[in-house]
Amino acid sequence: MSASPVVVVERWTRESRVALAVAALAAVLLALGPLWLSANLVDRLTTLFVYVILAVMWNALVGYCGLVSIGQQAFFGLGAYFAVRLADSGLSVYPSLFVAAVIVGVLSLPLSAIMLRLRGGEFAIGMWVVSELAHLLVNLDTLINGETGTSLIALNAYEIGLRRALTYWCAFVAMVGLLAVVFVLLRGPTGAAIQAIRDNEQAAESIGVRVTRAKRTIFVLAAFGAGLAGALWVATAVTFQPKTYFSPQWTAYMIFMALVGGLGTFEGAILGAVVFFAIEAWFGAFGVWYLVGLGAAALVFALALPRGVWGWVEDKTALRLLPVGYRVKFLGAVGLAPNDPAS
């Protein structure tokens, strides 16, 4: 019998174990997708996977680093561009998607030296300028034909059904891989560091968190992820028109997904991507009004519910399906052991 209150620090709960099992089962079913799903559904799920990547990557940057970027379309567009460029220079199409993302990640490293010194709105628009510049520089490449654009012609080597399945699997592997990386990263020391930075940068620095290194890790990861998403997008859309890839509309989508799902919550970004996917399917045909709605939703959520739907659920219910933090549980009154039936 101990004399002090019994405190248990726990990470996994029964719900979260069930959630992980369900997620694993869903992953297995989705992995076999092209074998049992219709062609149309396979295409749409590929799109969903790209949205999940975008949402999770943007959410990691904003929700965990406290950096709002309006310029992630720079990496999205560059990922698509390098995929087209590499495929044109003879590299096999599907490996070039991943190599393109690596190049984007490497390019983001020197950029981080300037950009991570900016804060708030300055970082946001600074990134936007970077994406405009990237767009203009890509247009200078004669392969692209300016705004006319080009296509990922090398995809023609694959029969349509095989191409659909391969693109689906690439997107699936990319999504699961990036989700796993973010999940593991957030649970480890870097995760603790960046969440501390998000909550209070000065305080984090004062207790020895290497702020710059932690931020740079997430910045590069987010650039890599957005680059991969862009490369995957060009593999599904085939055509590469710089204007559509370097459009701030992509950032608007990312903001919507992360904000509605829940800034700074791991599950929220996935939820946001699914919600956005559904809304696009139902209301996408409304064109301009649909975009007005997205903007208005971002405005309202930012003002009224900045932690999004999932943040709200977490606050109300203390439910953590895929826990990246810890929680402290007080078991019963003073003097009761954890296993005491009275607690």
Partner 1 sequence: MIFLNQIIQGVLLGGYYALIACGLSFMFSVMRIINLAHGSLAILAAYALFELADRFDVSPFLGLVVVVPAMALVGAGLQRAVLERSARGGLLVPVLSTFGLSIVIDNLLFQQFGADTRSLAPYIGDLSYDSWSLTDDIAIGKLAALTMATAIVLLGGIQLFLNRTQFGRMIRATAEDADTVGLVGVNARRVNALAAAIAMATVAISGAFLAMRATFDPYAGALQLIFAFEASVIGGAGSLWGTLFGGIVLGVAQSLGASVSPQGFFIAGHVVFLVALFLRIYFGDFGPRLRRLARRPA
Give the interface with partner 1 as residue ranges (CB under 8 A). 62, 66, 68, 70, 114, 117-122, 124-126, 128-130, 132-133, 136-137, 139-140, 248, 251-252, 255, 259, 263, 288-289, 291-292, 294-300, 302-303, 306
Nearer residue to partner 1 within complex by CB, 15 or 132: 132
Nearer residue to partner 1 within complex by CB, 21 or 300: 300
Q: At closest approach, how far in Å is the CB of 197 from partner 1?
A: 12
Nearer residue to partner 1 within complex by CB, 302 or 331: 302
Q: How far is CA 111 from CA 55, 118, 220, in A?
A: 22, 12, 9
Residue with tokens 């957005």: 226
15 neighbors 154 (Cβ within 8 angstroms)? no
Dist CA 56 CA 318 (whole Å): 21
Q: At closest approach, how far in Å is the CB of 56 from partner 1?
A: 17
Nearer residue to partner 1 within complex by CB, 118 or 319: 118
Nearer residue to partner 1 within complex by CB, 169 or 312: 312
Dist CA 110 CA 108 (whole Å): 6
Q: At closest approach, how far in Å is the CB of 82 from partner 1?
A: 19
Query: To 5 degrees, how large is the angle CA 189–CA 195–CA 201?
Result: 110
Nearer residue to partner 1 within complex by CB, 190 or 251: 251
Closest CA to 55 of 38, 40, 41, 72: 72
Angle between helices 249-261 and 266-283 (to 10 degrees): 120
Residue-by-residue DSSP string for 76-145: HHHHHHHHHHHHHTT--HHHHHHHHHHHHHHHHHHHHHHHTT--HHHHHHHHHHHHHHHHHHHHHSGGGT
Nearer residue to partner 1 within complex by CB, 18 or 129: 129
Q: At closest approach, how far in Å is the CB of 70 from partner 1?
A: 6
CA-based end-to-end distance of the chain: 13
Q: At closest approach, how far in Å is the CB of 133 from partner 1?
A: 4
Q: Supply 80's token pair.
A: 């698509």
